[in-house]
Amino acid sequence: GHEYLQEDILFHLEIAKASHNTALNTLIHLITPEIIGIYDQDSICDREEALSKIKEHEDIFLAIKAGDADLAKEKMDFHFSRLKDYLKGLD
């Protein structure tokens, strides 16, 4: 539900903030309202998938904490794979 969405968005906002990359931080803030709008129109994540995404968040966090940029990128790419597929379907 919306609690999951809020936590998901906060996680990504914190990652962007921690990157100290102003372009990434700005981009995340720009697309957040669009993501919320898409979620309101078409729930793209059921409860079971939400639990899976939480595990993906944990994997991303642990890779960052370990200082493994390549693993963090790999985990983030995997995390966004379903969203990328969903967005392709909107074309």
pTM comes to: 0.74
How many whole angstroms separate alpha carbon 58 and alpha carbon 71? Answer: 13
pLDDT beyond 70 at 42:
no
Mean pLDDT of the residues in the chain:
84
Q: Identify the CA nearest to 57 among candidates 71, 45, 33, 75.
A: 75
pLDDT at 67: 95
